[in-house]
Amino acid sequence: MIKFAPQLINLFATLILLLSFAMISQRRIVSLVNLFMIQGAALVATSFLIGYATNQPDLYISGGLTLLLKVVLIPWMLHRMIRKLNVRWDIETLLNIPTTMLVGIALVIFSFSLALPISRLSDSIAGGSLGIALACVFLSFMMMITRSKAIPQVIGFLSMENGLIFAATAVTNGMPMIVEFGIALDVLVGVLILGVFMFQIREKFDSLDIHHLETLKED
């Protein structure tokens, strides 16, 4: 198993990257949440695999925490918000799908070029996956700035956090456990606050389009 660990880690890393591409091109919000959930599951599998290959039990706890939050609790909360807010599609985006994919490819190339010198210095079993981790961060950030609805932007933020965790795991074989718990708590509280925020937007404007917030500045 340990012998094939680098190949399996690269496989899961590639899956995480492909899911990021699928997310930036997805317009159906329910499918977007499901893709985020699958990406979280791939991150969990990567954490467990690196923990097994490097004999670090802390990564099992990290993977279990990610499983609880990113695969179970947060997707359930997002699906519940979608049903209550009756939001199904995010059609009004800054870029169309072909342009989004081209920009995404450019970001992946830039990420690999940026990560290559750092990857050479890392002695981690997954150090070569740093470029993929950075690409996921940039793709998620692009999703946040090109979407008009609040829920896809929240998912983009959560996916970007997935990329950051994967980058920390790939380069340093995981963060200190106290940092893991702190990030998990921040993410959970952030999602709860953003949920209240989205309900307030819907109640005020009868829409989740964040462009309506510009009218508050005019008032």
pLDDT, residue 81, reads 79
What's the structural domain count of the chain?
1
Cβ neighbourhood burial of 59 (10 Å; 0-12, 13-18, 19+) = buried
Low-confidence ranges of the chain (pLDDT < 50): 178, 205, 212-214, 216-219
Q: Record the tokens describing residue 25, joined without a space.
A: 């091109």
- C-alpha–C-alpha distance, residues 163 and 135, integer Å: 8
Residue 124 CA neighbour count, 13 Å, CB half: 25
- C-alpha–C-alpha distance, residues 115 and 132, integer Å: 9
Neighbours of 141 (CB within 10 A): 16
What's the whole-model pTM score? 0.79
pLDDT, residue 181, reads 53
pLDDT, residue 59, reads 80
Q: In terms of residue numbers, what domain contains 16?
A: 5-218
pLDDT, residue 41, reads 92
Sign of CA dihedral 141, 183, 62, 73: negative
